[in-house]
Structure 1
């Protein structure tokens, strides 16, 4: 009696088929990059949900991103304030005696004393008071509690000694205080205002070749800093 051969023994060995290898794709790195960006976005969203948002820091971040990534300008509250300030000065015909500049801390507004005070006095001239009140009304809706306003008084190096002012320190301080009072009258919160007098200790720097009198005229000024609170 013949033994039946096992079907396994009759089967022929089959060659293993190799799966075709996918062609290299030069754009594969984009998938990894997109995943990383998504994870970073999720991380920042999580941070925002568990921390208090500081508007000053967020505004600075927006400006930095705009400058370094998009290479363009972005509208921020500071730019709105700058526009309002420049418009207020233009309407009062004071642009010639003012300088407005955005910097990393906020906005600096410089007003020449020709516009602000009579020589040796600390009382705002009528036109200067009108300009400061207009400035206060313009910026009050924008600054809220995310900004502080520092007012600096500066004098020239000519000593002063009168019944009202024993030195330039008193004169520069009272000039700054009078601007604070004008801004308070326009609804600016007292907690946001700082007045400081520097007398002649911080002369303005310039590359121009000036006479002594021209330098003194330039040093007699008031500087208003609208600073972001971080």
Structure 2
């Protein structure tokens, strides 16, 4: 006996709808399973790919095709970086020996007076932070925008720094490059990370070529990850573009005897 449901072709259309529903359910459960096993890296890649696909401007075709399938990274906005505070710049978290504090204060005053005497106080700032001294220099005074070659006009600043480093050989030097949040994408500098890192290493090489021992120095690029102020105005972005020299005594070297020593 024949089934009346299949005798009429018009009455069999529900099969296709049912098949579509089952396919969608299958895809849905596969998606749930994949999400349950997704790591942070793959989740970020997936979200970035979706954002790029839905972008009205189209996909980011300038990305490396080998990386594109793994998800773009430019669309997802990073967590807003934590701002540096005056407290962090002027106070140490741990107790500091009074002899060390006095020595750091003396050196910081000497460093500041050298730049003031050379009329560079508008370009250079000096801070104490417990056992460390930070010399902060305006980035525009050292490099052209988007470049990493030291400006000829910056040589007096570098020569003053060189004299300071030679006067205090027991202090290690950490060179830190910082940029604003304006993206850069050139053949040499694909991002601000490369730009800040190469500026820091270019600066390190200058002092290395002028006989500062390599073991005293480190160079690090931070891009726009540690802004001093929010990157919301041209003046603030200019303030965030900087190079910092952090001087800290080598702990393996004893502190010279002073009258304040017990």
TM-score bracket, shorter-length normalisation? 0.5 to 0.7
Q: Could you say which residue in structure 2 is the equivalent of 1:96? A: 122
Gaps spanning 5+ residues in structure 1: where? Answer: 1-59, 67-73
Contact 1:129 1:182 in 2 (8 A): no
Aligned residue among 202, 221, 230 for 2:242? 221
Counterparts of residues 153-172 of structure 1 (less than 5 Å): 153-172=177-196
Higher RCO (CA < 8 A, seq sep 6+): 1
Deviation of 1:173 (Å): 0.5
Q: Counterpart of 1:124?
A: 150
State the partner residue of 1:7: none
Cα deviations across residues 114-151 of structure 1 (Å, max 9, x unaligned)? 2111111111111213311221123313233xx21100
Gaps of 5+ in 2: 1-95, 252-262
Match of 1:140 in 2: 166
Equivalent pair of 1:137/1:186 in contact (CA under 8 Å): no
Contact 1:133–1:183, Cα closer than 8 Å, also in 2: no
Instruction: Note the alpha carbon deviations across 1:32-88, whole angstroms, 9 max, x for none.
Output: xxxxxxxxxxxxxxxxxxxxxxxxxxxx42347x8xxxxxxx4x2x33432332233
1:185, 1:91 → 2: CA distance? 26
Q: What is the rounded CA distance, in whole Å, between the counterparts of 2:226 and 2:232 in structure 1?
A: 18
Distance 1:92 1:125, change over 3 A: farther
What is the Cα deviation at residue 211 of structure 1?
4.7
Aligned partner of residue 168 in structure 2, secondary structure = helix
Q: TM (normalized to structure 1)?
A: 0.61
TM-score by length of 2: 0.54
**Radius of gyration: which is bigger?**
1
* Matching residue of 2:233: 212
Pick the aligned partner of 1:187 from 207, 211, 229: 211
Number of residue pairs matched? 156
Q: Tell me, yes or no, if structure 1 residue 83 matches structure 2 residue 109.
A: yes
